[in-house]
Structure 1
Amino acid sequence: MPSSVRLPLVLACVVAGVIAGLWTWLGTPVAMPPSPLAAGEKLPCVSYAPFRDGQSPFQKDLAIPEVQIDEDFASLAKVASCVRTYAVEKGLDKAPALARKHGLTMLLGIWLGPDADRNRIELDTGVRLAQENPDVVKAVVVGNEVLLRGEMSAAELASVLSRVKAQVAPVPVTYADVWEFWERNKGLTENVDFVTIHILPYWEDLPVAADEAGPHVDEIRQRMAEAFPGKEILIGETGWPSAGRMREEALPSPSNQARVMHDVVALAKRQGYRVNVIEAFDQPWKRRSEGTVGGHWGLVDASSRMPKFAWGEPVEDFPGWRMHIAVGIAAVALAFGSAFAGGRRREGGVPNGDWFAVAAIALFGGATLGAAISALPLESLGLVGWLRNGLIFSVAVAGVAVMPAVIAGGQGLAPFSVALDARRWPASSGPAIAAALILALATAAVGSVAFELVFDPRYKDFPVWPLTAIVAAVAAPMLVRRADRDGAGLAELIAMWGLLVAGIYVPLNETLSNWQAAWFGTLALVLSFTLWRVQAVQRKG
């Protein structure tokens, strides 16, 4: 075998092996504690919203088909004894009868908001359902986080609670809100039979890591018991998301969701707490207001309608890891194949250093493109979301496909103008134009994400999988040769400084415990340095 072929083949095999080993390791199921539920035992209660993909509570004339709720309750009756609802409109007035059919009890929710007419309909219907179904409705939850949203005053809410309590007795009445808002409005206890608090460690002002979520719930519940002596405390919402962006140390993942559920349910049984888990099914509509993470709190997947984990059994964080390996090996073949094609006419052959640069593109691209494919349906919402994330993914694939040929052909990076200014095309080579175009697209991709994470970060994801492939593709040429700087100008300068600021600001703003933010910050800094190398000094004569 010629020496010119031996090194790239060895590198390709090594890179493919590393990728396979990495994803085999990441795909190893995460062990869970023993099931907190005995054989045949069910969850005490679980939050239920009936909306499936394409449905939302904001659709004015939507009426959920009775058969849909019936199917959901049939499924939930196998795993829970009780469901908590949040409203009685959009078909949920049929819920008590369907709950009875399946042997479920209910915490019947009445939705309150700024619309007085809608409130009146909710209250009248909710009161009637409680009066007609005392065997099923074990409590009425009048309002959910209405104080948190600032849609009613405490005095207005107290008046509503008092009126409903008189109408539905002896069915107990409560109000549900984040625990801090109960602390600020202790007078409401006079109008409720018990206090319903929400403890969501992920959403705390100071987010709590998954392994500390159970102790955090315990601490807050005890704090509320001391604040409201003599009042029963219901943990009305607690849970963990299975997908979405990190908040400090709080990482959404399948294994973290399962671990938090195990810990909280075990704690509730041990301490004798009443607890309701959020939530039964994923709610895709929440992604519009809360980002990717908002749609992935369910114990049951929205698409497959299958449970995300089995109690006491190991959980996979990357169920598609075998596909990731296959995509990774294909990316390695693409990168090295591109390099062989690009270096065919190069006088003297492709230097060893260039092959190592190609291997870097193959490694980072191959290790991340499979995960990028898996992330696309999770992080893409609507046509705009799919278009934007699809374009970013396309740039990642283009970088893996094009830049190895550019490197093997002896070309370095080139300024944006080589590709974007048609007047320069006649005097520029094909590889130079390709390199400049990939660099411009990479800057646009990383820059658009950086802009969001600097100015509107709370619900924005860190799409680090495709961005890693992109940044590796444009940074790799810098390992082996100088960039062509002729024609670099203001665009590269502005992008360089913008990415430098974002690369420092985003990790500091998210805290250094957020490794997703640190990863993105590193990518932004690497691309900033790459642009500096392109535009720092124009090449002379």
Structure 2
Amino acid sequence: MRMPIASALVVSALVAALWTFVGQKVEMPPSPLAAGEKLPCVSYAPFRDGQSPFDRPLAIPEAQIDEDFARLSTLTACVRTYSIEAGLDKAPALARKHKLDLLMGVWLSADPERNRQELEESIRIANENRDVIKGLVVGNEVLLRGEMSPMELSDTLKYVRAKVAPIPVTYADVWEFWERNKGLSADVDFVTIHILPYWEDLPVSAAEAGPHVDQIRHEMADAFPGKEILIGETGWPSAGRMREEALPSPANQALVLHDLMALAKRQKYRVNFIEAFDQPWKRRSEGTVGGHWGLLDAYARAPKFAWGQPVSNFPAWPVNILIGVLVAAAAHAAAVHGARGGERSAPMGTREWAAVGALALASGATLGQAAANLPLESLGMFGWLRNGAYFVLAIACALALPWLVGRGQGLVPVSHLLDPARRGRGRAPAMVAALVLAATVTAVGVAALELVFNPRYKDFPDFALTGPALGVLLLALVLRPARTGLSATEEIARFAFLAAAIYIPLNETLANWQALWFGGLCLAVSLTVWRVLAVQRTA
């Protein structure tokens, strides 16, 4: 028993060291805000979990907006809204109550009748609340979405501007669309541009976000001389998949906002941050990252970081250590159980115990974060079923693979499961080995297909699939796979996974370490299948 205990302790120590290091807080620059100073403005949408602008008609309770404005009044001097629907027609009165300025949004779409109603009601509200409404944002990215032509938008801006003067009127869109439609500047009192470094066609890292925004802001000032520029949306997400070198994380969000706020004060930029609260509904159209742009959490309604204070990317890292220690103990116990129940002619050797330790490390170091990511990355029935299946597979492999090493049972080709005669003659260890291989190939294959053909909003399931993918490769290398005959499934899979291992990192660029990690998992599965096939071809 000395070997498994010693191995489990070593794995536990490695997991603890890893998460202690990874979980440490990242230092932030000094706070750009003076004591008592507030943010200049933040975007506000009133939707909480289970609420969405797609659910029409939807009326957000006035008390809910009131509660949000009360909280925001301690953080910002201004809020930007995007529509007067869903209860936001009450926003001016509530802003006045909490001493907030309001940039009131007027939502425009491809529906002329809806636009007419929104415009007329917005004009009425604006004229009745001139003291609190500091600007009217007529349309948000309607050109980007292709829902109105520049001429239609120009006519709309002229109409509203004449009706609400002297309230300033603007239109908001990503900076590229302002570049393409410079003539619209004649129809607005100031130009509102969106600069979102994460979503750029060529994303930039968190460290480069501030200089990138500064460069674009200067270019827009040169393009529109004499016009005031408002950066109407800028910020950084705290969770989601990487885009090239742009990594969403709590520390990166805090860093970018520190840099942008300092830049705005230094350069005297008008700036509005996106956004006040996380918006879970945005995950439907933008993936995990879409729901995590808020300065405040969607559920606790609390700030995600304190200005000038260090931030951890994994605040629950002690839980990950605890789970890792439990996994290490369970994996080694499974190996001991397998060895006692097997038909071994000799006890497990150092090589096999090293393999068990490596299996336990791969699972123990990742299962805790896989559990934390499960609710974060799962949306809708399909998302929960897929990610739930990945997580169940990760748990199963954490126990089954060490047990198979203990039994001395190598991997078994998928053909073993597809042939009724073989299934009927097979022993339990062989069936488990075949199931583990088949499930891992399927899980990594599903994820790879999504990331090859529809990757933009898909997360990399690295934590959940590391244990299974590396585990089957370790088992294939330590114990000779069973020889049961060739299968077309493995023949196709080895090349498909090799292609995915090359294509996904190259498509995402080598700066994306999440993509490199997943590419490594695809390569591990490809090598595993290659090893299984090599045994089938031997005489």
- When normalised by structure 2's length, the TM-score is 0.98
1:258 aligns with 2:254: yes
Which residue of structure 1 aligns with residue 350 of structure 2? 352
Q: Per-residue CA shift, 1:351-398, capped at 9, x if unaligned? A: 211111111110010000000001011100122211110111000110
Q: In structure 2, what is the Cα distance between the partners aligned to 1:291 and 1:309?
A: 23
2:33 to 30, 37, 42: 37
1:480 to 478, 481, 494: 478
Which residue of structure 1 aligns with residue 368 of structure 2? 370
Deviation for aligned residue 1:227: 0.6
Which residue of structure 2 aligns with residue 311 of structure 1? 307
1:421 aligns with 2:441: no
1:73 to 69, 84, 87: 69
Q: Per-residue CA shift, 1:58-89, capped at 9, x if unaligned? A: 11111111111001000100000000000011
Pairing 1:410-489 to 2, within 5 Å after superposition: 410-489=408-487
Which residue of structure 2 aligns with residue 384 of structure 1? 382
Which amino acid letter does the alignment assign opposite residue 225 of structure 1?
A: A
Which residue of structure 2 aligns with residue 234 of structure 1? 230
Q: In structure 1, what is the Cα distance between the partners aligned to 2:113 and 2:399?
A: 59
Q: In structure 1, what is the Cα distance between the partners aligned to 2:240 and 2:339?
A: 41
1:275 to 271, 280, 284: 271
Which amino acid letter does the alignment assign opposite residue 511 of structure 2?
A: S
1:120 aligns with 2:127: no
Which amino acid letter does the alignment assign opposite residue 416 of structure 1?
A: V
Q: In structure 2, what is the Cα distance between the partners aligned to 1:485 and 1:378?
A: 41
Q: In structure 2, what is the Cα distance between the partners aligned to 1:347 and 1:419?
A: 28
Q: Report SS of the residue matched to 2:365.
A: helix
Q: In structure 1, what is the Cα distance between the partners aligned to 2:100 and 2:350?
A: 69
Q: In structure 2, what is the Cα distance between the partners aligned to 1:161 and 1:315?
A: 43
Which residue of structure 2 aligns with residue 147 of structure 1? 143
Q: Report SS of the residue matched to 1:536.
A: helix
Q: In structure 2, what is the Cα distance between the partners aligned to 1:422 and 1:240?
A: 54
Deviation for aligned residue 1:539: 5.5
Which amino acid letter does the alignment assign opposite residue 454 of structure 2?
A: D
Aligned sequence identity (%): 64
State whether residues 486 and 537 of structure 2, in contact with CA within 8 Å, keep that contact through their aligned partners in structure 1: no
Q: In structure 1, what is the Cα distance between the partners aligned to 2:129 and 2:56?
A: 27
Deviation for aligned residue 1:427: 2.4
Which amino acid letter does the alignment assign opposite residue 67 of structure 1?
A: A
State whether residues 238 and 276 of structure 1, in contact with CA within 8 Å, keep that contact through their aligned partners in structure 2: yes
1:297 aligns with 2:293: yes
State whether residues 420 and 437 of structure 1, in contact with CA within 8 Å, keep that contact through their aligned partners in structure 2: no
Deviation for aligned residue 1:119: 0.5
Q: In structure 2, what is the Cα distance between the partners aligned to 1:457 and 1:349?
A: 47
1:213 aligns with 2:184: no
State whether residues 334 and 399 of structure 2, in contact with CA within 8 Å, keep that contact through their aligned partners in structure 1: yes
Which residue of structure 1 aligns with residue 56 of structure 2? 60
Which residue of structure 1 aligns with residue 489 of structure 2? 491
Q: In structure 2, what is the Cα distance between the partners aligned to 1:211 and 1:354?
A: 44
Deviation for aligned residue 1:140: 0.2
Q: Report the count of equivalent residues.
A: 537
State whether residues 327 and 369 of structure 1, in contact with CA within 8 Å, keep that contact through their aligned partners in structure 2: yes
2:80 to 41, 63, 84: 84
Q: Report SS of the residue matched to 2:103.
A: strand
Deviation for aligned residue 1:420: 4.1
Q: Per-residue CA shift, 1:408-439, capped at 9, x if unaligned? A: 11111110122343321232221111011010
Q: Report SS of the residue matched to 1:255.
A: helix
Deviation for aligned residue 1:540: 5.8
2:183 to 158, 167, 187: 187
Deviates most, 234-243 or 487-496: 487-496
Unmatched 5+ stretches in structure 1 = none
Which amino acid letter does the alignment assign opposite residue 451 of structure 1?
A: L
Deviation for aligned residue 1:248: 0.4
State whether residues 237 and 276 of structure 1, in contact with CA within 8 Å, keep that contact through their aligned partners in structure 2: yes
State whether residues 339 and 408 of structure 1, in contact with CA within 8 Å, keep that contact through their aligned partners in structure 2: yes
Q: In structure 1, what is the Cα distance between the partners aligned to 2:420 and 2:257?
A: 58
Q: In structure 1, what is the Cα distance between the partners aligned to 2:209 and 2:225?
A: 24
Runs of 4 or more consecutive aligned structure 1 residues displaced over 3 Å after TM superposition: 419-422
Q: Per-residue CA shift, 1:4-28, capped at 9, x if unaligned? A: x222221111111000010011110
Deviation for aligned residue 1:349: 1.1
Q: In structure 2, what is the Cα distance between the partners aligned to 1:392 and 1:105?
A: 47
Which amino acid letter does the alignment assign opposite residue 334 of structure 1?
A: A
State whether residues 481 and 535 of structure 2, in contact with CA within 8 Å, keep that contact through their aligned partners in structure 1: no
Q: In structure 2, what is the Cα distance between the partners aligned to 1:460 and 1:52?
A: 23
State whether residues 419 and 434 of structure 1, in contact with CA within 8 Å, keep that contact through their aligned partners in structure 2: no
Deviates most, 255-264 or 464-473: 464-473
Q: In structure 2, what is the Cα distance between the partners aligned to 1:508 and 1:138?
A: 47
State whether residues 482 and 535 of structure 2, in contact with CA within 8 Å, keep that contact through their aligned partners in structure 1: no
Which residue of structure 2 aligns with residue 198 of structure 1? 194
Which amino acid letter does the alignment assign opposite residue 202 of structure 1?
A: Y
- When normalised by structure 1's length, the TM-score is 0.98
